[in-house]
Structure 1
Amino acid sequence: MAANPDKKRKRAPAPKSEGGKSNLKKPKVIGSNNLIKGSKRPFKSPGKEHLRRAGKPKVQKGDVDDKKLRRLQAKELAEARKKKRKKHYTLEQELASLWEKMRVRDIKKEDRSKHVSEALKKMKGKIPEIASSHVSSRVLQTCVKHCTQDERKAVFTELRPHFISLVSNTYAVHLVTKMLDNASKEQVAEFISSLHGHVASLLRQMVGSLVIEHAYSLGSATQKQALLMELYSPELQLFKDLVTIQETRLVDVISKLQLQKSSVLRHMSSVLQPILEKGILDHSIVHRALMEYLTVADGSSAADVIQHLSGSGLVRVIHTKDGSRLGSLCVKHGNAKERKKIIKGMKGHIDKIAHDRYGSMVLVCILSIVDDTKLISKIILKELQGNLKELILDQNARRPFLQLLHPNYPRYLSPDDLTSMSLSIPSIRNKGESDANFKGDEAIEEDRNGEGETSDTSIHLNDGGKKDSFTRRQELLVNSGLAEKLIDACHEIAGELLRSKFGKEIIYEVATGGADGILHPTLDEKLATLHEAIVSLAMQPKQDDAEEEHILEQFHSSRTIRKLVLDCPAFALTLWEKALKGKCATWVKGHSSKVVSAFVETSDSKVKELANKELQPFIDSGLLRLPVADESIRNE
């Protein structure tokens, strides 16, 4: 009998247990991994995505072509929209193609010039608009860098009427700075002249201030002064002829032009206040303007400037000469809270500041003025100790250590450095300072050459703080453990320090115990080991074929050891007994003769008597020549 197709086959019922329930068990789910017992694969219920995939037909060959076609159509549509939105879109694409060719490193000079000329020809008449484009401005920068002088002049001429709008544009600003780098003196002068009346407004912008600073750094002293004077007064901003006067100091400008001091203060406050609030603190022209402002500002205005600068922002200021002086003034005139903010703001930057020519002087000022020695030890000295061997060999980084060992010594600090430390703000002088030490508005005195050099006459060094200078030094140098680590570092690299032009002064000061004997008697035993280390180098036999000069014959080391013999009797006795006694015939010629002759010149009678008997025959025979009485060699 044939089966009825309309009837579906029925599944046999599952066997039931006595309770009427099915004997088939559901698969057990074990743990959080949803694994079926006896299976390695996780159990998943078919979700929507599985069902969607299951019902999706297989991809056919024709569908791939349709996808490519749709993608191509979308790309063409996007290109059409860009063409409508961007006026010079096609030109930008052509310039980008040329740029890829001209910026290759190994391209021939002739080929690059060809591509540059072609690009400039395409851009002619549209350069101001192209300069503001993200892509095309880069092409123009490369062209300005590699084009001929005539081509660069043509670009400069076309951009001249649009300079002010360009320096405010995020992309065009890089082109302007590139053009200034490659511009002639006449073009730089013309550009600076075009900025007249806009300096103050541009300095308040993050982008525009970059161009003002760049022009300021490239300009001559007269051009720098012209840019700066616009910040002094509305009259100087409006009338171009007034900025040509020769006076460089603000107080002289006020006197020469008979300006009202109150009007100048109001104008400068309106210019500088937004700059300080926005944190535009990196530029040297701003530092110079602030220094001039402090010469005429009243007490409350000067205190506001110090308050704004106190903190982490000061780190961005102290890399210039005027910025370093601003930092020193903030340390000198700031209250305890502001000084604390300044020191904490330097945390993590001490090593970089110490290596900087001007930043290191701010550290010197802090070590000379601030009484909170615990805070200084915790932040500044701790970071300095972490890289001690490198710092004591560096020309700038050694200054904080030398200031602690021998404060305000003209041999280690230039007259300009000493003057920077003596500066003060007239309106907020520290209490207890006499008027004899200042000259009113000339307390921050600059010469008139526009370079900011300062006269070294009548320098007054302010120790600052209420704590005794020697006590402060002892807490920072000895109690903090810095002196002990300095001695250890000098012991380890004694030869390198003695031969170094800058390191020799560190090892000399440490070996002699510092000014006022600050390291005595606490560290006498450690100093004795340092003396032994230097003497052990001097004990090495003289070798003519040696790669390195002997420590007694090298230029710097021989003079340093000579000074140690003259100024440190304990070292002189050790050197004579272990290295020179009975061997002077080897060392009476060349640079080493300066060391030997020091035993006769010394003021210590015990050392002189010890060596006189052996050295007298060399003096009589003329082999050992004593220096002239003016002690010029001693001061080398």
Structure 2
Amino acid sequence: MAAKEQLGQSKKRKRDSHPPEGGKKPPKNLTAKGSGKPSKTGESKPFKPNKSDAVTKKKVPETHRERRLAAKEMAEARKKKRKPHYSLEKELALLWEKMRRTNIGKEEKSKLITEALRKMNGKILEIASSHVSARVLQTCIKYCSQAERDVVFEELKPHLLILARKKYAVHLVKKLLDNATKKQLEWFISSLHGHVASLLRHTVGSAVVEHAFQLGNASQKQGLLMELYSTELQLFKDLTRTNASRLVDVISKLGLQKTSVLQHMSSVIEPLLDKGILDYSIVHTALVEYFTIADKTSAADVIQQLSPLLVQETVMDEDQQFPASQLLKNKKRKRTKMLVPLLVRMMRTKDGLKVGVLCIKHGSAKERKKIVKGMKDHVRKMALDQYGSLLLICILSVVDDTKLVTKIVIRELQTAMKELILDRNGRRPILELLHPRSPRYLNPDDLACLNLTVPSLCSQSDGADGSVNLDLNKEMDSSEVMMTDKNESESLSNEQHSIPGSKKDPSVRRRELLVDSGLAETIIESCIENVAELLRSNFGREVLYEVAVGGTDGILTSLTERVGALHESIASIASLPRKNESEEEHVFENFHSSRTIRKLILDCPTFAATLWRTALEGKCEVWAQGHSCKIVSAYLESSDPQVKEMAKSELQPLEDRGILKHPVSIHKQAKKG
């Protein structure tokens, strides 16, 4: 009970019951110290508060300005307690505002940078993780001397992998790599050994791996890639030093087990697909190599996971369209952010194009439909891109839903027809419909990308490369072999071979996209309106030629009248008199237009007759000398007998008199000389 009473007692301080020294109790009539009550025996004393016990009251801010200043002081006090280097960060911010001005001299800027680096000496690791001071350090690294940069690199050297995972410090690491020497870059790439897969899975750290991959040479890139292939290559650094670049060659050369490599790569790729980390070139290369060894189930699962990710729109900085090696060349370009589908971002690399081609070829009809819909409002941008134009060619030659392709792709191409015809890359989707898979417009690498397939997903009838498959077990005589090779080459050039995942006849698909959609009429009208410019253009003249000859296989036969109008337009320009040297070159004397007209005379008898009747009949002697003689002599070289007979009566006397020289004789004289 006593204990309970003690616990329940009040916490008020009790008066001391013990008497003071001397044995006497204090008189009851005395007041307590500091009280203002008078005693019974004496008079009242004035109140004198003790200074040590007095509580000073803060002045309450009354005006809006006083409240704002008070809040600012409170925020400053909190920041000083929370940030150990807050005062230093304020000083660095002031220096940064001075050094980043455009009207400052080099000497003054170098002094400010040296002062900032002196203040940061010994504290660079803590400063690198700060939102503001990390930017100051980036500016210093960009403009400081190499000796100062080396000092910073050496101080951060043991901590670069840690900084690569931090939100603000990652930009500093990338800036260090941009300005690093060969030895420093080589050291950093070697330090990534064993951490490439884990960093790629990290949302922030993956950007550093990609940056190092872009800046490294071929052997360094191969070393980074090797870690993604197998556990042995990740553990033993010496194994990555091999000359083999393809994964199939690495497996055979090092004697690796294909199943273990496939299992390891699946464990690396699946987290990347789950997190959507797919816009890096190192990931694109790893995916392409994975498809070369993947079995049917694994390859189909990855493509099924990839297809919905390709159409997801993400915010992209415009600088991300360029590799790290080109960023320093475009310092003054204004940065803009935009929403771009992942598929468009992947077109920055050749391996990204290959991944897109494989997803379109081996994806289901629904997946293709999603991919085409996701390209809406980005078709023009892709058509003007080196790899994006090839992906459009793949879509035009693979997707069977021509109504959807017409609605999304063709309609957007029609709105920028002139720009596309005159562009190096933009003309390629148009030329693909006019003359499919022509080696004249597509180089061997482009054709290899378009013919790429996943070996495990190709049926035996399709072949591994999408071409006609030959039965090697069947015995054939020499004539059958020659006929097979001839048919194979014709099928490749005319795109009559079967395409994986497509059921529609290629010629039917091509007609629906080019003629039935109205695209052909738009192309012809654009050629007629800009005929003079296209003739003199290096790229536009190729589209003009294909339209003027009616396209391959006579696909523009139904538009013969409009093609005839184009012939008349070319002939009317050619009929103009020769101009002075100060004026624009005549189409018969221009380098590009003269060769295009000559080729049209040889390949299109209808055009040859129109041009002769409008521009050359009775005027051949004027154009029989100089650069234009090749056009006149083309009538004598034509394989069409009617064209030869039409011009023979006028050209034969010129040739006999030596005014017109036959190109064959000119070539023989050049050989003798």
For the criterion TM > 0.5, the same-fold answer is yes
**2:250 — aligned with what?**
253
Whether the 8 Å contact between 1:315 and 1:345 is mirrored in structure 2 is no
Given the alignment, which residue of 445, 464, 478 partners 2:515? Answer: 478
**1:275 — aligned with what?**
272
Given the alignment, which residue of 66, 75, 82 partners 1:85? Answer: 82
Note the alpha carbon deviations across 1:83-124, whole angstroms, 9 max, x for none.
111011111011001101100001000000000011011111
Given the alignment, which residue of 383, 388, 392 partners 2:421? Answer: 392
**2:221 — aligned with what?**
224
Aligned partner of residue 383 in structure 2, secondary structure = helix
Distance in 1 (alpha carbons) for counterparts of 2:258 and 2:76: 61
Distance in 2 (alpha carbons) for counterparts of 1:216 and 1:436: 29
Aligned partner of residue 628 in structure 1, secondary structure = helix
**2:552 — aligned with what?**
515
1:157 aligns with 2:154: yes
Aligned partner of residue 225 in structure 1, secondary structure = helix
How far did residue 594 of structure 1 move?
1.5
| Map 1:98-247 → 2, pairs under 5 A | 98-247=95-244
1:96 aligns with 2:93: yes
Note the alpha carbon deviations across 1:404-434, whole angstroms, 9 max, x for none.
1111110000010111122221111046224
How far did residue 555 of structure 1 move?
0.5
Alignment coverage as a number of residue pairs:
553
Aligned partner of residue 626 in structure 2, secondary structure = coil
TM-score under structure 1 length normalisation: 0.83
Moved more, 623-632 or 486-495: 623-632
Aligned partner of residue 408 in structure 1, secondary structure = coil
Whether the 8 Å contact between 2:453 and 2:464 is mirrored in structure 1 is no
| Map 1:411-430 → 2, pairs under 5 A | 411-430=440-459
RMSD: 2.3
**1:365 — aligned with what?**
394
Distance in 2 (alpha carbons) for counterparts of 1:100 and 1:221: 40
Given the alignment, which residue of 315, 332, 338 partners 2:361? Answer: 332
Distance in 2 (alpha carbons) for counterparts of 1:439 and 1:129: 63
Note the alpha carbon deviations across 1:108-147, whole angstroms, 9 max, x for none.
0000000001101111111111111000010011101100
Given the alignment, which residue of 595, 617, 620 partners 1:559? Answer: 595
Moved more, 416-425 or 554-563: 416-425
1:492 aligns with 2:489: no
Distance in 1 (alpha carbons) for counterparts of 2:196 and 2:385: 29
Note the alpha carbon deviations across 1:526-555, whole angstroms, 9 max, x for none.
111111111111111111145321111110
Note the alpha carbon deviations across 1:476-510, whole angstroms, 9 max, x for none.
11111111111001011111111111111000000
Instruction: Give the AA of the match of 2:646.
Output: L
Distance in 2 (alpha carbons) for counterparts of 1:321 and 1:472: 27
Note the alpha carbon deviations across 1:608-631, whole angstroms, 9 max, x for none.
111112112332233322223999
C-alpha distance 64-271 of structure 1, shift in aligned 2 (>3 A): closer
C-alpha distance 436-305 of structure 1, shift in aligned 2 (>3 A): closer
Whether the 8 Å contact between 1:145 and 1:178 is mirrored in structure 2 is yes
How far did residue 352 of structure 1 move?
0.9
Instruction: Give the AA of the match of 1:466.
Output: K
Instruction: Give the AA of the match of 2:253.
Output: K
| Map 1:25-64 → 2, pairs under 5 A | none
Note the alpha carbon deviations across 1:379-419, whole angstroms, 9 max, x for none.
11111111111111111111111111111110000010111
Whether the 8 Å contact between 1:163 and 1:194 is mirrored in structure 2 is no
Whether the 8 Å contact between 2:468 and 2:498 is mirrored in structure 1 is no
How far did residue 247 of structure 1 move?
1.2
How far did residue 74 of structure 1 move?
3.6
Given the alignment, which residue of 569, 573, 581 partners 2:609? Answer: 573
Given the alignment, which residue of 647, 662, 672 partners 1:611? Answer: 647
Note the alpha carbon deviations across 1:172-210, whole angstroms, 9 max, x for none.
111111121111221111111111111111111221111
C-alpha distance 473-73 of structure 1, shift in aligned 2 (>3 A): closer
C-alpha distance 64-469 of structure 1, shift in aligned 2 (>3 A): closer
Instruction: Give the AA of the match of 2:617.
Output: K
Q: What is the percent sequence identity of the aligned residues? A: 61
Moved more, 202-211 or 155-164: 202-211
| Map 1:260-299 → 2, pairs under 5 A | 260-299=257-296
How far did residue 318 of structure 1 move?
2.7
C-alpha distance 629-489 of structure 1, shift in aligned 2 (>3 A): farther
Distance in 2 (alpha carbons) for counterparts of 1:334 and 1:558: 46
Where in structure 2 are there 5+ consecutive unaligned residues? 1-58, 312-341, 470-487, 669-673
Aligned partner of residue 503 in structure 2, secondary structure = coil
Distance in 1 (alpha carbons) for counterparts of 2:290 and 2:422: 38
Whether the 8 Å contact between 1:569 and 1:604 is mirrored in structure 2 is yes
Given the alignment, which residue of 508, 528, 531 partners 2:567? Answer: 531
Aligned partner of residue 113 in structure 2, secondary structure = helix
1:344 aligns with 2:381: no
Whether the 8 Å contact between 1:318 and 1:326 is mirrored in structure 2 is no
Distance in 1 (alpha carbons) for counterparts of 2:186 and 2:593: 50
C-alpha distance 590-202 of structure 1, shift in aligned 2 (>3 A): farther
Distance in 2 (alpha carbons) for counterparts of 1:67 and 1:340: 60
Aligned partner of residue 525 in structure 2, secondary structure = helix
TM-score under structure 2 length normalisation: 0.79
How far did residue 71 of structure 1 move?
4.2
